[in-house]
Amino acid sequence: MKMKLLAAATAVAGLSAPAFAATQGTPGPTSTGTVTINATITPEVAISDLDDLTFTATQLQTALNTGANAQQADDVCVWSNNVDGSYYLTATGDGAGNAFTLTDGTRTLAYSLGWRFGGGAVQSLTSGTKSPRLTTTATAPDCGGSTTASLLVILRNADIAAMEATTTYTGVLTLLVSPT
């Protein structure tokens, strides 16, 4: 019985007392001791430098006259403290089912999204779907005052043609950046 109690007490003591690598100084004219300092951080990300986007009447008129789509870009800062600079992006709109839409209160206008990172090709984004692994070269949460990616918002020509004149269409896009 005494052996079981002693074993249990030893196990509890071992779990509750952390092991320190500190050395203690000894009394004398000088005394030296050492401590080990540890620091650990969780995976962190940041997105900043986001701007509201406005498609002007002139831009939309040009798209209609040329048969082209209209596009707006916003250069942004994305930072990740992952060793490889990796992050994931999930975009959601404020339309029905989180769709990427603009509305005038009655009618809706769909838009599509792209994400250019690292000067590479554009990654298409689907509402509510986590992107494939993306990377950033930023070494600080503010990207050192520069940008590392571009958000691309595209209005299709056919959707522009369906817009009612002198009506403002608005919507909110949410960009969720995660480290894993």
pTM tops 0.85, yes or no:
no
Rounded Cα–Cα distance for residues 93 and 100 (Å): 4
Is 5 among the domain residues? no
Domain residues for 105?
45-178
Residue 98 lies in a domain: yes
CA dist 55 and 10 (Å) reads: 71
Domain with residue 55: its CATH number is 2.60.40.2040
Kindly state whether residue 4 falls inside one of the protein's structural domains: no
Residue 81 in domain: yes
Tally of domains in the chain: 1
Instruction: Note whether residue 30 is domain-resident.
Output: no
Ordered DSSP codes for the chain: -HHHHHHHHHHHHHHHS-----B---SSSS---B----------EEEE--------HHHHHHHHHHTPPEEEEEEEEEEE-STT-EEEEEEEESSGGG--EEESSS-EEE-EEEEEETT-PEEEE-TT-PPSPEE---SSTTGGGS--EEEEEEE-HHHHHTSPTT---B--EEEEEE--
Interval 111-162: pLDDT, tens: 999 999 977 889 999 999 999 999 999 999 999 999 999 999 999 999 999 9
pLDDT tens by residue, 34-71: 999 999 999 999 999 999 999 999 999 999 999 999 99
Residue 162 belongs to some domain of the structure? yes
